Amino acid sequence: MTQITLISSNKSFGGYQKIYSHQSKELSCEMKFAIYLPPQYSSETKLPVIYWLSGLTCDENNFIQKAGAQKYAAEYGIIVVCPDTSPRNVNLPGENDAYDFGSGAGFYVDAITDPWRKHYKMFSYVTVELVEVINVNFSPQPGNQSIFGHSMGGHGALICALRNPGMYKSVSAFAPISNPTKCPWGEKAFTGYLGDNQELWNEWDATELVAAYKGPALEIFIDQGSDDQFLKQNQLLPQNLVDACSKAGISYIYKEREQYDHSYFFIASFVSEHFAYHAKHLIN
């Protein structure tokens, strides 16, 4: 059993918001994750779980402090897990030089270039190791899990679902980086973590993965603010993903929220809809 160490615990809406650390074998460093255990939770009661993936510069704290999600997790009886967005303090050259690469910017890919390949394997961490840590230590309902995220984490949620058909009951994203092979953030990150082979990049791009998706029926829920500064800078490109879904026959929900931006004010305004959406898939 992977040993986890409790860092903090705060009662919230009848449940407990906790943060733990553990030594990650996948990332070869200490990692932290937040977990909300709703009031329905006990060692005998198996509950569904939702994984949340945060965006650039964020860690395990942003969502739990700013989204107001505990109220809805308590209402539906859902465990919510929020990992950090990258390895930390692994002493790689340049890891802290930019907000959009390195620390706080793991992009949920498995790096294959040096020196990043040793530590930056966030995809395998989120979809394999962290799931095992949660299953062993908190005993959620086996296989009853969903995933969502924001911005870089929205990209992460989409590729986790698309690359693992059937693993998640549902997927949604706030302002995801929808077509990273075609935007500056993605081009920078993929060059750094994956090298110059752009065919390989397509394996980590939701728009490209949708076009090749062969798994069980899947619906994608995308929430986007119309006044999002990064939408206007062509970092997000949600229409490319919507067009790919339409062409591939994959069901989608796309909601553009008038005058909302990229911030947690946007997320907090509509997170209740995302919990209702996921609960519909997780709770019979």
Catalytic residues: 151, 228, 262
Q: Which residues fall within 8 angstroms of residue 126, CB to CB, at 6 or more apart?
A: 51, 53, 83, 108, 156, 160
**Residues paired with residue 16 on neighbouring β-strands, in sequence order:** 11, 37
Residue type, 50: I
DSSP letter at 27 equals T
Dihedral-angle region of residue 249 (phi above 0 means left; psi in -120 to 50 means alpha; beta otherwise): left
Helix then strand count (H, E) for the chain reads 11, 9
With tokens 């009848």, the residue in question is: 14
116: which 2 tokens? 């990043």
Longest dimension (CA), the chain: 50
